[in-house]
Amino acid sequence: MRIYLVGGAVRDKLLGRAVTDRDFVVVGATPQIMLERGFKPVGKDFPVFLHPDTGEEYALARTERKTGRGYHGFDFQADPNVTLEQDLERRDLTINAMAEDENGAIIDPFGGQQDLAARRLHHVSPAFAEDPVRVLRLARFAARYAPLGFAESDDTRALMQGMVADGEVDHLVPERVWAETRKALAEPCPSAFLQVLRRCGALAVLFPEIDALYGVPQRAEFHPEIDTGVHQEMVLDAAAQLAAGDDLVAFCALTHDLGKALTPADVLPRHIGHEQAGIAPLRALCARLKVPSEHAALAEHVCRDHLNAHRAFELKPATVLRLLERLDALRRPARLDTFLAACEADKRGRLGHQDDAYPQADYLRQARVAAAGVTAQPFVEQGLRGPAIGQAMQGAREQAIAELKASLTRAPASDA
């Protein structure tokens, strides 16, 4: 029985990155041997065990054989005769197919170290094409490691293009698409996720609403990058800078402009009413991928109201209050923070505007505090009852926002 550290822990150790999770492969063992040594079984499809002291995962070395379409179409075999190299060969990328023995020696049968040095995401074997989830995983790794210069190899891109053409990507289940997407949105460079998927053709299959944004022009005076798809990528990366690791902010940023793909050609490059037009495709995307309700709800708020946030200083106090109420921000201030982070990312996600200030955010937060400071008690003490209390509170909140606005130096008018 031999135990090896494998996968991401080896990869990140060689990259000089912090290792957060460690996985192990056990060669020459059986489930019975693992149980006798106190390991706790957790695997359903193949034998995976938890270490009795550390809780880390130890999987028996295994091989796999394609038996059908999609992610679940595999037959796994784990027995003491499976070698380490056979186990590593079934993995997705060479940089994930390395192991380290108990003495710290690296076992690298597929050139993972060479690809690390070349900053190359390359498949281990043609078997990569048997599992469509690997397309998403590679795109997610690109989102993580793009700042280090990593990109998919030409051969691997061609392989993924073939997977898309063969319809293999069509068999991805919504839950797995969302799980990988959510992780990618929390990475440092989520635009790379879109770029990889687009280069192989998978973006049009999995996210047609987003793919449709590419090639759609915008007004150059507001969007020097012009292309809406390029703007989308820039907004995503701005969100990653403003709210690192926050996939909720990133999802709101990802979907805020879907309506621009629906703008009639004779109206371009203007996008009148794109906020409302984006609601239908956003809802379709969320329903198809079974996006969590809070992600879907806040993304809809950002889609509908991001222009109102940009022109916050131009809004009447009553309109500001309605915006805060739609967000339920008086009771849930964290929702406002998420909304504003996505809106600020939209403002900064433009060529030459990456470092723009966004004073609208501070104003709207102060407006929330001013409005939330109005309570019912004074009006009850005045003898008001029922609906009259609510009406009085509404007026007082609008007045509080008006007084706040008057006390602030007016910011320059914003763009669309």
- Give me the pLDDT at residue 137, please: 97
- Give me the pLDDT at residue 71, please: 54
Q: Give which of 281, 228, 237 is closest to 259, Cα–Cα.
A: 281
Reading phi first (left if > 0) and then psi (alpha if -120 to 50, else beta), residue 16 is in left
Contact (CB, 8 A) for 116 and 15: yes
SS3 4: strand
- Give me the pLDDT at residue 380, please: 87
Average pLDDT over residues 360-378: 95
Average pLDDT over residues 365-391: 92
Task: Say whether pLDDT at 21 is over 60.
Answer: yes
Model confidence band, residue 406 (pLDDT cutoffs 50, 70, 90): very high
- Give me the pLDDT at residue 381, please: 86
Task: Say whether pLDDT at 272 is over 80.
Answer: yes
Q: What is the pLDDT of residues 318-338, one digit of tens each?
A: 999 999 999 999 999 999 999
- Give me the pLDDT at residue 76, please: 72
- Give me the pLDDT at residue 45, please: 67
- Give me the pLDDT at residue 140, please: 98
* Segments making up each domain of the chain, as ranges: 1-111, 245-416
Task: Say whether pLDDT at 212 is over 70.
Answer: yes
Model confidence band, residue 75 (pLDDT cutoffs 50, 70, 90): low
Burial (Cβ within 10 Å: 0-12, 13-18, ≥19) of residue 271: buried
Average pLDDT over residues 289-309: 98
Reading phi first (left if > 0) and then psi (alpha if -120 to 50, else beta), residue 153 is in beta
Q: What is the pTM of this model?
A: 0.91
Task: Say whether pLDDT at 290 is over 60.
Answer: yes
Contact (CB, 8 A) for 273 and 260: no
Rounded Cα distance between 14 and 10, Å, is: 6
SS3 99: strand
Mean pLDDT (the chain) is 94
Task: Say whether pLDDT at 154 is over 60.
Answer: yes
Contact (CB, 8 A) for 201 and 165: yes
Q: What is the pLDDT of residues 118-150, one digit of tens each?
A: 999 999 999 999 999 999 999 999 999 999 999
Range 1-111 has CATH code 3.30.460.10: yes
